[in-house]
Amino acid sequence: MDRVIKYIESNYDKYIDELKEFLRIPSISTLPENKSDMQAAARFVADKLKDAGMNRIEIFQTEGHPLIYGEWLGAPGKPTVLIYGHYDVQPVDPLELWDNHPFEPTIKDGKIYARGATDDKGQMFMHIKSVEAYFKTMGHLPLNVKFIIEGEEEIGSTNLTPFLKQNNDLLKCDAVLISDTALFSPGTPTITYGLRGLAYMEVEVTGPNQDLHSGTYGGAVDNPITVLAEIISKLHDKDGRITIAGFYDDVLSLTRKERENFKVLKFKENGFAKQIGLKELKGEKGFTTIERIWARPALDCNGIFGGWTGLGAKTVIPSKATAKISMRLVPHQDPKKIAKLFTKHIKNLAPSTVKVKVRDLHGGYPVITLLDNPATIAASKAMAKAFGKKTVFMREGGSIPIVVEFAKRLKVSPVLMGLGLNTENLHSPNEHFNLNHFKLGIKSSAYFLDEYSK
Ligand code: BES
Ligand code: MN
Ligand code: MN
């Protein structure tokens, strides 16, 4: 073990250079013009798995972006861990708000800035490097390892979901390890045991059959933008609760024990607000901020458009107005059921002066993982060793829809050992990854393989 850790320490600069190379590939999964970059990123991952010492590397082409598989099964009798990550990244806009180009990784104050640095290229790369350290020093791993790396996490894991169903044997394992979440705070080893789910909807309100002059028609017709704004404003009550009938029916209540555990973490509401330029926070009455984010559902309008949105003035009553609305869900809410309740509710709210279309864009199930499962215990010990501190357990407000599929198809309780920070601007300009956490993550991964092999 000492040799593995020493190897990691002495190869740190090389690892960062390789990570930079990875981050230069603009693997934006949602944009058709980046399709060939997705292939290049998949190649990169496959090559690095091979260089690390893994066997049976395969790039599986799908109808979307490729999946990469690799394995090393040279430890019969020992458990098998499946490591998951994603090489796709979010779009970079607004580009003008970046201090450096998103695909020219730049190091400042011990942080590497680039799109995908923390979500998820940097985090996923840690595991390839820990495996490499074992092969280079010991010639073998302490247990069996499989990798499955996808390129469609940011667009709903469309092809990994059926792949899981069809390749149960290939992916069969005793534990799934994922680094795609955050630490509770810088330097605090953290295991995440819950993620929220998601129901993402679009509401389109249509009034007149064409855009109208607001002088010749204004005052005589209902305006779709006003109607949409009214609908949106009715989705919460004065206590910050979501008004959709039946919305809370399946919500798993917080236990007193869990609320106490959250309190022990000493989350600083003031600092949290300040960081994002706010004087005051707002949310569902009766819950603290971390309870609201981790264990309560939320409904947010993500975008709204209609009418004239360009520079200057144009006098127009638009024919249509549209809103994108997401709902973050908690166990045991079902995104399909919630989408139906939402649709019904919106239709009920719509006045007879307009037509309303509701589309279900995509969704994902919330998850809660087991804390007493051997892999979780091993990960918690591993992180504590790497960081020299006690590991804390938290839940998370974000979503990784494939996690539930792993639990369901492979019958294992996934372990979320994330090394990011929620302040690292994932999905926004100046995304970055703390290089100290990168290093601690490689060590945590190495300790995990050792701990779990016991
Ligand atoms: N890694 C994130 C999920 C995440 C975010 C975990 C913040 C911990 C903290 C993941 O890549 C992501 O962005 N998920 C999407 C869901 C997807 C269906 C687009 C999300 O949460 O919006
Ligand atoms: Mn991610
Ligand atoms: Mn993401």
pLDDT, tens only, 53-90: 999 999 999 999 999 999 999 999 999 999 999 999 99
Q: What is the pLDDT of residue 282?
A: 97
Distance from CA of residue 267 to its chain's centroid? 21
Question: pLDDT-derived band of residue 377, with 50, 70 and 90 as boundaries?
Answer: very high
User: Cβ(296)–Cβ(331) under 8 Å?
Assistant: no
Q: Look up residue 355 and give its amino acid.
A: K
Q: List the residue whose alpha carbon is closest to atom 17 of ligand 1.
A: 154
User: Cβ(369)–Cβ(376) under 8 Å?
Assistant: yes
| Lookup: tokens for 75 | 């430890």
Measured from the CA of 198, which atom of ligand 1 is nearest? 18
Mean pLDDT of the chain, nearest integer: 97
Could you tell me the strand order of the sheet in which 432-434 lies? 106-108, 111-113, 432-434
User: Cβ(25)–Cβ(103) under 8 Å?
Assistant: yes
- Pairwise CA distance, residues 189 & 392, whole Å: 6
The yes-or-no answer on residue 96 being catalytic is: no
| Lookup: tokens for 200 | 């993402």
- Pairwise CA distance, residues 452 & 175, whole Å: 9
Question: pLDDT-derived band of residue 271, with 50, 70 and 90 as boundaries?
Answer: very high
Residues 6+ apart with CB under 8 A from 114: 20, 23, 24, 100, 102, 103, 104, 105, 106, 431, 432
Share of the chain above pLDDT 90, in %: 100
The yes-or-no answer on residue 222 being catalytic is: no
- Domains observed in the chain: 2-195+367-453 (3.40.630.10), 197-251+297-364 (3.30.70.360)
Distances (CA, A) of 416 to 9, 87, 179, 378, 413: 24, 17, 6, 12, 10
Q: The pTM is what? A: 0.95
Closest CA to 231 of 326, 322, 297: 322
| Lookup: tokens for 408 | 């369901």
User: Cβ(403)–Cβ(178) under 8 Å?
Assistant: yes
- Pairwise CA distance, residues 351 & 313, whole Å: 28
Helices marked H in 189-255: 224-233
The model's pLDDT over 12-23, given as tens digits with 9 standing for 90+, comes to: 999 999 999 999
Measured from the CA of 326, which atom of ligand 1 is nearest? 22
- Pairwise CA distance, residues 181 & 432, whole Å: 14
User: Do the bridges between strand 392-396 and strand 190-195 make them parallel or antiparallel, or are there none, so unpaired?
Assistant: parallel
Catalytic residue among 153, 154, 431, 450: 153
Neighbours of ion ligand 2 (CB under 5 A): 119-120, 180
List beta partners, residue 84. 148, 178
- Measured in angstroms, how far is the CA atom of residue 2 from the centroid of ligand 1? 35
User: Cβ(349)–Cβ(389) under 8 Å?
Assistant: no
DSSP letter, residue 242: B
- Pairwise CA distance, residues 363 & 355, whole Å: 24
- Measured in angstroms, how far is the CA atom of residue 120 from the centroid of ligand 2? 5
Ligand that lies nearest to the alpha carbon of residue 122, given by its number in the listed order: 2
Q: What is the pLDDT of residue 71?
A: 98
Mean pLDDT, residues 407-411 taken together: 96
- Measured in angstroms, how far is the CA atom of residue 91 from the centroid of ligand 1? 14
- Ligand 1 environment, Cβ below 6 A: 119-120, 153-154, 156, 180-182, 198, 364, 396, 398-401, 422
